[in-house]
């Protein structure tokens, strides 16, 4: 067997550098493939990050309130510190014609208390008789007509004796598009309902609903003996069903976010949306869905929903102390 030599001279033991337990050092092969891979991959990672950042900032800008309204809202809200309870006033509007004043058709107060690992979704009937700051007793949705988001925020904050941190308005039209973008949403109803304006029939049963039928479900009230209360319960259940569907299809989120931004507005920054989403997601197994009960009453010929102060206090106490909602706030028909 041929022996390797150095300069034609047979090397001695002292000429060979030993490594470890007398073994000659192993020759290290250049990892060119790794360098090439990194050179090809890193620019795309950076570019991808830039694209995501630009999309996120674009979404934030499109979903933002106009500066004048945002300044007014900032005067009646306060951004919570990390770990503090947080609330969102979610308003579903129904703007039927171009340029028409949007109506607060759905009013939902979302509240999460990290200390108690529990979240709340409380619907307030649009005809509920409340004190509107500066205007006196009137229907709660009139506060939006009189002073838009700032006055509605003040009204709801006074009603529950809790701060409203964020405001989010979404046109009902977006719900149909969101559900269609998800490929439909599984939803159960215990009765059928015909929405003649949408020319859509709501089918009874646990079925996959297309966007138009989902929209008809959250609008339907005449099929129920208690009208608005069952409609509010369906609205809450539909929000939860859509949220679950979105969580199972994360690739659909950018498109859905674009739809919502096109048909809504908020005072939340992108960082707040992400933080709030995480907080709500972390407590969704302990999500309490309920309503402020009212009784239909005519006062000076005008119909109102009148609440019981003790029941309102019970709902507020439950939210502040992380307790289950009282049965009267969660019962159906």
pLDDT digits (tens, 9 = 90+) for 275-319: 777 777 667 678 899 999 999 999 999 999 999 999 999 999 999
Least confident span in 34-48, 116-130, 144-158, 317-331 = 34-48
261 pLDDT band, cuts 50/70/90, is: confident
- pLDDT of 33 reads 56
Rounded Cα gap, residues 40 and 313, in angstroms: 62
Residue 45 has pLDDT above 80, yes or no: no
- pLDDT of 321 reads 93
**What is the token pair recorded at 262?**
């096109």
Residue 51 has pLDDT above 50, yes or no: no
- Cα 305–Cα 309–Cα 311 angle in degrees, nearest 5: 90
Higher pLDDT, residue 106 or 30: 106
**What is the token pair recorded at 159?**
């009603």
Residue range 51-55: average pLDDT? 48
Pairing of strands 264-266, 295-299: unpaired
- pLDDT of 124 reads 95
Report whether 151 contacts 186 (CB < 8 A): no
Higher pLDDT, residue 181 or 24: 181
Higher pLDDT, residue 137 or 64: 137
Rounded Cα gap, residues 316 and 157, in angstroms: 11
- pLDDT of 117 reads 83
- pLDDT of 179 reads 93
pLDDT tens per residue, range 225-256: 776 788 888 888 888 888 888 888 888 878 88
Which structural domains are found in the chain, ordered by start?
Answer: 109-166+270-328 (3.30.420.590), 168-266 (3.40.630.190)
Rounded Cα gap, residues 239 and 29, in angstroms: 58
Residue range 193-219: average pLDDT? 92
| Full-model pTM | 0.77
Higher pLDDT, residue 261 or 125: 125
DSSP class of residue 162 equals S
What phi, psi does 11 have (nearest 5°)?
A: -70, 145
Least confident span in 27-41, 143-157, 265-279 = 27-41
Residue range 59-88: average pLDDT? 86
pLDDT tens per residue, range 148-177: 999 999 999 999 999 999 999 888 778 899
Higher pLDDT, residue 181 or 272: 181
Residue 16 has pLDDT above 80, yes or no: no
- pLDDT of 327 reads 94
- pLDDT of 44 reads 44
Residue range 92-116: average pLDDT? 76
Least confident span in 183-197, 202-216, 266-280 = 266-280
Among residues 300, 293, 297, the alpha carbon closest in space to that of 315 is found at 293
Report whether 265 contacts 91 (CB < 8 A): no
Residue 333 has pLDDT above 90, yes or no: no
pLDDT tens per residue, range 112-140: 887 888 889 999 999 999 999 999 999 99
């Amino acid at each position: 067997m041929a022996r390797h030599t150095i300069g034609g001279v047979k090397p001695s033991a002292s000429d060979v550098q030993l490594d470890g337990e007398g073994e000659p050092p192993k020759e290290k092969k250049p990892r060119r493939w790794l360098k090439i891979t990194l050179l090809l991959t890193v620019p795309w990672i950076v570019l991808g990050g830039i694209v995501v950042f630009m999309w996120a900032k674009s979404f934030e800008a499109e979903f933002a309130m106009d500066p004048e309204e945002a300044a007014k809202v900032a005067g009646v809200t306060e951004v919570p510190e990390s770990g503090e309870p947080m609330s969102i006033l979610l308003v579903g509007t129904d703007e039927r014609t171009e340029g028409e004043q949007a109506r607060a058709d759905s009013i939902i107060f979302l509240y999460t208390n990290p200390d108690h690992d529990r979240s709340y979704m409380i619907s307030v009937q649009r005809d509920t008789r409340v004190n509107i700051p500066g205007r006196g007793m009137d229907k709660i949705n009139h506060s939006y007509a009189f002073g838009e988001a700032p006055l509605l925020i003040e009204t709801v904050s006074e009603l529950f004796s809790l701060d409203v941190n964020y405001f989010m308005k979404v046109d009902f039209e977006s719900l149909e598009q969101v559900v269609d973008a998800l490929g439909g949403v599984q939803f159960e109803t215990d009765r059928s309902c015909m929405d003649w304006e949408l020319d859509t029939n709501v089918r009874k049963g646990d079925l996959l609903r297309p966007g138009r039928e989902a929209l008809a479900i959250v609008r339907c009230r005449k099929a129920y003996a208690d009208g608005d209360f069952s409609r509010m319960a369906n609205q809450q259940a539909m929000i939860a069903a859509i949220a679950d569907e979105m969580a199972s299809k994360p690739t659909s989120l950018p498109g859905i976010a674009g739809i919502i931004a096109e048909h809504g507005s908020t005072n939340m920054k992108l960082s707040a949306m992400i933080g709030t989403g995480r907080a709500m997601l972390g407590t969704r197994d302990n999500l309490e869905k309920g309503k402020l009960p009212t009784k239909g009453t005519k006062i000076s010929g005008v119909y109102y929903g009148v609440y019981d102060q003790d029941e309102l206090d019970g709902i507020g106490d439950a939210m502040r102390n992380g307790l289950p909602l009282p049965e009267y706030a969660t019962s159906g028909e």
